[in-house]
Amino acid sequence: MASAPVPPPHDDDEQALLAGLRAGSDTAFETLVRTTSSRLLAVARRIVGSDEDARDVLQEAYASAFRSIGRFEGNAKLSTWLHRIVVNMALMRLRSRKRKPEESIEPLLPAFKDDGHMLQSAGHWEEGADVALERAEVRDYVRAQIDRLPETYRTVLMLRDIEEMSTNDVAALLDTTENAVKIRLHRARQALRALLNERFGTTAAGAAQGASR
C-alpha cells in the first residue's frame, strides 16, 4: 500500500485521539483527518480510478465515520476501521456507475485437454520480468491490464492483493462466501497472468497463448 506522509498515531496516542473523537473535540477530528486522509485518498483512487471520484469517496467516507464514531468499539485500529469504510464507499461508487456488460473471464483462463494437460502449455517469460516491475512504464502497463479484468474479478484482486484485506473481510464486504472470494481471486490472478503473458512471453508457445487472447 502507498505510505502516508504523516505516520499513524501510536497506541497511546490512538487512545487519546479516540477519547477526543468521542468527546466531540474539533482538534481530534482534525488530527484524524490530517493523519489518515493521504493514505485513504490513495486507497479510494486505486479502487475507483479517478481523482474526482476518489475525493468524493473520501468525503463520503469521513462523513460516515463522523456519524458512526460513537459506535466504534475500538476492537480494531482506527486506521483499519477507516480503511474499511473507504473501501465500502468506493465499492458503492463503482456499483453506482453505469458499467458496460461484464465480459466472461473464461477466455483468459487456461484450457485443458481431456487428459488434464494444458491445451497450450505455459511458455517462457523474459528474464527478469519481476525486475522490470521497478520501471514506472511497466507498472503502468500492469495497472492497465488489471483494468481489463471483468469488474467482479478486478474488485477481489484489488481488495486481496493490493489492499491486503483478509479473505474473511472481503467476503463480508461483498456479501459472499470465503470460498467464492478464493475462487474469484484465483481466476483473477490467472487471467492477469494471461494478459501479462502478452508482454512478458518470449517463446512461440507463450507469445501465441497471449496473442490468441
Partner 1 sequence: MNCQACVEFILRYLDGELPDDERAAFEVHLAKCPPCGRYLEQYRVTVTACKKAFVAPPEACDDVPEALIQAILASRRDV
Between 98 and 213, CB nearer to partner 1: 213
Between 11 and 115, CB nearer to partner 1: 115
Please classify residue 68 by burial: count the beta carbons closer than 10 Å to its beta carbon, then call 0-12 exposed, 13-18 middle and 19+ buried: exposed
Between 11 and 26, CB nearer to partner 1: 26
Between 11 and 134, CB nearer to partner 1: 134
Task: Write the DSSP string, the chain.
Answer: -PPPSSPPPPHHHHHHHHHHHHTT-HHHHHHHHHHHHHHHHHHHHHHH--HHHHHHHHHHHHHHHHHHGGG--SSS-HHHHHHHHHHHHHHHHHHHS-PPPPPPSGGGS--B-TTS-BSS---PBPTTHHHHTTSHHHHHHHHHHHHHS-HHHHHHHIIIIIS---HHHHHHHTTS-HHHHHHHHHHHHHHHHHHHHHHHB-SHHHHHHHHT-
Distances (CA, A) of 171 to 70, 91, 108, 185: 25, 13, 24, 11
Between 67 and 98, CB nearer to partner 1: 67
Between 35 and 84, CB nearer to partner 1: 35
Task: State the residues that interact with partner 1 by CB under 8 A.
Answer: 1-5, 26, 29-30, 33-34, 37-38, 41-42, 46, 55, 58-59, 62-63, 66-67, 110, 112, 115-118, 121-125, 129-130, 133-134, 136, 139, 142-143, 146, 157, 161-162, 182, 185-186, 189-190, 192-193, 196-197, 200
Beta carbon of residue 87, minimum distance to partner 1 (angstroms, whole number): 14
